[in-house]
Structure 1
Amino acid sequence: MKQSAQGKLIHFAKFVDRISSKFISLKWKISLLTSMILLIVVTIFSIISYKRLINNIDQQSEQQYQRHVREVEKLIEQISHSSHLLIRMLPFLKGMDVALSTQNTKQIEEAFDHHWPLLQLQNGIEAVRFYDQFDQLLVGWDSFEPDIYRDKLIKEHVSKVNFHEHPANPLICLESCIQYTIEPLLIEGVRAGTIVIGASLADVFLGFKRTFGSDIGLFLKEKKYKITHNDVWFPEWDIRLAALTNRDKNIDVLNQTLKEYPDLVSLKQGIQTQSNQRHQRIKLLPLQGIGVTDQAHLVIITDITETIEAIRDAIWRIVSIGLIGLIFSGILLFAILSKPLSQLKHIVFTLPLLAGGSFGIFRATLSSMGRKQWLKDEIDLLYEAAIALSHKLEKLEDKVIYRTKQLVKQRDELSKEKDFIAHLLNTAQVVVLTQDVKGKIMMLNAYGEMLMRYTEEEIKSKTFFELLLLDGTQYHLNEDLKQVCYGQREQLRHETITLCNDGSKKHIVWLHSRLSWQSEEDSSVLSVGLDITEYKRVESNLIWLANHDPLTNLFNRRRFSEELERMIIWSQQNQQPGALLFFDLDRFKYINDTSGHQAGDSLLKKVADMLSHTIRAVDIKARLGGDEFAVILPEITASGAIEVAKKILFHISETQLIVKNRTHKIAASIGIALFPEHGNTVHDLLAAADLAMYQAKDKGRGTWHLFSNDDEIRERMHTLVYWKEKIEYANLYDEYLLYFQPIMSLYDRTITHYEVLLRMRDKDGTIYTPGAFIAAAEHIGLIHEIDHMVLRKAIAQAAMINKLGNRIRLSINLSAHAFKDPELLPLIRNELMFHGVDPTLLMFEITETAALENFFGTKQLLEEIKKLGCGFVLDDFGVGFSSFRYLRELPVDAVKIDGSFVKDLANSSADRVLVKALCSVAKEFGKKITAEFVENEEVLILLEKMGVDFAQGYYIGKPCAGNEIFHHLKLDGAVNKLEYSYSGKKVIPFRNQK
């Protein structure tokens, strides 16, 4: 035994010597490799940091350039606007109106001479000229030398203004740049020639300098003028410096730049130069609106010395800190690894004894290694593991016995898991069955037996295909199942109608997969079925609602437009004429007001039933909204359409409704448009029929009218001229008012925010709602101006409220044309910044139909405004059910259920079902829900039970002017309270969240 042990020790010693001759310490490898990695990391980090800082400067420079462009354009626009206002004022100066109307040159000079110095001094006006209607100069005042070329350019613009009667704002750059404003002159409604006012760009330079602090100058490129002593000519660039802030300092900078960059293209792209130990960034801004021969640029000079020095300091700090950390970490790592790795080396050299079976010697050798028992590390764990391993090898038989006991225990656990799976299959709310390769059912869970009304014995006598109601696809389904069974495909999913044992039918989605533990000869398929019968029923109802009006069961506007477009195409292809009848019910609003909305709804149903029994089966009828109906008559002439219209009018006149001993009779006015004669698009035909209907109303109501082009022009011009005057008056004298209607949170019945509503005040004090004038504003192109006004007033109102310490949210309506306005987003951003309003306190309301009209444009604009922090509400939600799939695409925060579904909620079960469905859809998409037209407590309670978040309507509060609502606000500690009553109860409208 001693010899054997000695032999093992000798063998171990030789092994250690053999290893030591080729051994390199792990601590040196780790230290060197770690140092190299840290060095590479420091280098890469320094390079990345430098490039990132440089890129940040470039990006900031580009953003600053865009701001420069916008600021210059804004300043020039302000000059044009000031000149425009001055032109409007000139005819009102003493004696000017008579002199201009008579076009007497001497009188104009006498009347205007004493005003000219004042305009030069106060307004910075460089030129004023008066021309007659024939482009002839009557008289003019200029602060610079006469120039034939300038006069020619001005006269060309005067000719265009006289011809088109539209103002012009040319920018003419010769010896300097002058912003001209040219407008036609009206004296008491009569053309009296044209006025020309020229203003210098001095205010542009001063305003730019004040805003950005950068120096700005003017480069002019022309050769026909001599260089004065105030100008500087740069021959390499072929340009003249006409104006420059900090002239003496910046001319040296430009001369230095000229030596480095003789090509002017470099300045247009932006360059960086160094002069007198200062770093400058120079870039050209092109002036817009000048002719091809008059080329001018603005030059921007920005001092970026501090930025460059900051970059250098940051890079040096990064490199210095990295190198110091590299050295320190290398030394520290080497010191830390020395002792543990020496111990590890000792254990490694001892392991061959364990392989040779010398367990006692192995443990004795390890025990000779001095080590501490406190603060153990991985080396200590390895030591203990090696000792434990030697003991375990000696007790191998005990280990085998222990392992056998463990296998028995695992078998018991598997049995428990099997029982758990069986219980899970029986309690899961899905159908689970297995079938063999022939389709015979082998097992069905408890839920499947309950759903399909089969017992275990009955189902095992069936095949899977005997449970299905197939429509000729049995062969393909059988083949697909065989592919799953033999592993040729992983899964199979399909929907079928399943026949239950009691004769009922269920719509089930099946998912088939192969049981992999089965053999090829005895393979089987696991089939899992989900009952979607109720989902299919709801889906069918929603599809029907997407195409029909729920009150009358007629087509809605969306489906009617599709049918009309289809019929127009068919008519063009087959050369068959058709007609469109468009009518509404006269005095329908009176019936609603006197007998209630239920009476109005009953009347609408009667009209729908009458139409079904009056027109042909091939004719298409629809309710377009409110009391508006339309009928498409294919393959009919004008005389035939007139006869149908007469028949409809006759039956409508016979329709009556008795409510509370009050008999209501109605009439209608029908407009007739023929296709393709009166239009070959849906929009044109509906517009023609609409105009014809109003012409019929003008005849005395209860009659029909066939569209003609003369009718269209007369009606449209009458309406547009009438409202154009009112809108222009309101724009001129700011006769727009903002009303605010409270919106209540149904969680605690507090007023959380207000909807902003627009009103227009006429000369006689009449207040108009948007429905009266918005359509006309859209036609005459003033809708964007109104949108901008509403945004400015609403944001200013929010700022005023915030200054009192109140956090009230305002919901602002946007018109359908707002999404086509490129100035909308910059306006919102500027107003928020100017007033300092928290954007989370502002929400914007858009109608569902307006949002879907230009879906991608709307989505893009909503995402941009959402980035500012504002919220969005989808108004009139539910009017177009086909837009449900777009709800998840639009970044809206809340939806507002259309009031037509809410106003009669307490009395209409159909409306309750519909509102529940709308709430369910909105909640699934995580949207807040607002219900409008809440007119009583009963409706409010129903909405609370349905989980609606907010309520709005006359029962909560009527729209009021801002001074009637917000003048009650006062700061009261942590909570601001506004006493506002509804139905005799006092509520807390909002809480101040600081």
Structure 2
Amino acid sequence: MSQVIKKEANIEQVSGTKERTFLSFKWKITSLSSLILLAVVLLFCSVSYLGLITNFDNQRDIEYQRYSREINSLIERLSRGLRQQAETIPYLDGMTEALLTNDKDKINEIFEQHWTLLHFHNGVEFVRFYNASNELTADWGVAEPNHSDDEIILEWVRQVNQDEVPINPLLCRKSCIQLTVAPLLIEGKTRGIAVIGISLADALLAFRRISGAEIGLLLHDSNQTTNTLYIEPWDIYIAAFTNKNESYEILKHAATMFSSMDALREIIQINWKNNYHQIKLFPLQSVNADEAHLVVISDVTSVVNNIHESIWTIALIGLLGLVISEFLLFGIFTRLLSRLKDVSYTLPLLSSGHFEDFRFSLAQTKKKQLFRDEIDMLYDAAVKLSIQLEDLEHKVSSRTKLLIEQKDTLSKERDFVANLLDTAQVIVLTQNAHGKIISMNAYGEMLTFYSEKELQDTPFLNILVSDYDSQDLSVHLDEINRGLRDQLRHEAITHCKDGTTRHVAWLHSRLSWNSTDDPSILSVGLDVTEYKRVEGHLAWLADHDPLTNLYNRRRFSEELEQAISRSDRYQHAGALLFFDLDRFKYINDTSGHQAGDALLRMVAGMLLRTIRSDDISGRLGGDEFAVILPEISTGGAIEVAKKILTHLNETQLTINSRTHKVSASVGIAIFPEHGENVHDLLAAADLAMYQAKDTGRNAWYLFSNEDRSRERVQTLVYWKEKIEYALLHDSFILYLQPIMDIQTHEIKHYEVLLRMLDSDGSILSPAGFISAAEHTGLIHSIDHLVLRKAITQAAKINQSGKHKISFSINLSAHAFNDPELLPIIKQELISH
């Protein structure tokens, strides 16, 4: 009896208390499952709500970015319209003469006729005219009567008078006026300044029509009228607003919630009269930039209400599912736990070692089931428990061995990942939350010559070359740390330990971290140094001739255009030398293209040694070269041309025991005297070059007043382009004029006539292009073409055996000076 009491005492000591309130297992399971399901419902509602809000915020960010672009576009459109109106002022009837004579009365009289149309139709607020001495000539409309504003406008007028470039400032006082300060150009020279102002009201209304949002203009000007709406907490006046009264009330409500207007620089959302509104501030870039802002108010009530309704619907559905699930769980567990209770009442026999009684009691309480379940398995497991206790130690040891094997597998996987990072041909490093390097792979050590230990605890930005983007990069990396963005791509010059640098393309990705010492950012860098080198070489090829390293035609034309512009602005004359090599084709044909290439390189080198450092040379194609001589007189240009001819005469090319002497024909054109644009100047120099060829080659020729006929130049250029196109695309065709023998009445002889097939299909006679071909030196190419075609056609007809014919071929008088003509005739006759 004492032993039984002692055992009960031990049991009570293990249980902790003598009597505890009993709570059925089914109620515990039901309560716990209810809490879990309720937590799941709440979590799902929270996640859904956060997802909808995040998506809503992202869409609004995109929308306000679009608003910003639309505002800038509308203001730019106003500026462009004002500039166009300013450009038309000198073309008004009589205005040119009035501006040239600075006749204020005449200017007032002429422009007064157009002021009403500009004011009422185009919305122009005011117009002012200033002369070249920055003096006010005339004005219309009502400008801001503010002396400081007049000084500002006058300063802009001085700037435009000096730079001759229009500007589009924005001036805000009681309202915002978009200004255009533009030069009045007459014959390419500034004869005065026009200042035109227009209110931003039309732009605000246009924005309202496009976006559907309310927009207003806020000013800090203390000189506003008493009728202007005022928001006291922000010390701001509403100069203009769409839907003014309601918008004013919304802003007043926002001012009670946000003491500083700077809060509106980010998107804020308020609830006003059960409606949700979002407000965003857009600063204006005006003279007094801190005094003027645009504010946009968007009604987002329907979207917010939809989000709330969606969340309530999700919550109600979740709660309904929770109630139904609880009822089902309670019914299921009631039946199952009644069987489990029988097992629990029998288990104390097992703990006391009465294994036979335990098995007998289980057999008595076990009920027959149609399908076996876990409780049946519990019955069987309890019966076998005494036997399985003997095997327990063996099973524990087996499980321990299995855990060891799993640990070895995980260790191998970890080593594989480490080796993979070390063998990857990219830099892989990790940073902590403070942007300091934690680890770096072996490839990174090899590329930068830094060891991982040397870079540990070093800020990542310290290994990059500082530039103007460094501050932005620091901000973006901080955004990754704070979870505001997941990835960042950029390129940067990276320091190496040996003093060299590498161009690396970096990809930064956010890692989950728990403490400031854990990795926060994974940075992967790809070395693109070689790619950048190739890219730079391709950019060089876009502007240069790869054979001679001189500028190509495109870049040379750009440089010539800039030189003409500088010459016009600073009133300094310049010169253009245009020349090609005499008998270059003969050198190519007799000694090969390698000889021609070598000759071109020699000429390019000679040019660079002959001209000044500020002069610009280029190869325009084939054997054509050109030189720009800025700030030089006519005599100086002629001396440079003579020097080039002298150095060319001293140049000799020896190939395969054959020596070729070099000469050229140089055309000289002075700008802006002989041309005010690239096309006219090149045409004049080209014409002068052919005039030099006509004088006997190896000479120079200055474009003279007798050659100034624009029609003549344009005609020569027009036909030269057509002839070159026809030679390239085989558009020359031969007509055969039959010649009859009067005695026999037979036709066995033909005269070969030349025609050109135009791009529109029409046939052009030689009367139009032969003269231009002779003048431009292309006549030799036409002679050669006619010879080859005629001989080939005669051979084809005679070889057929049906007819025996002969041709008469007309050649130009220049053929007698063509050293290539006789070799071509011999070669063609031999070939056919």
**Shorter-chain TM-score: which interval?**
0.3 to 0.5
Name which one, 1 or 2, has greater alpha-carbon Rg: 2
Query: TM-score, normalised to structure 2's length?
Result: 0.46
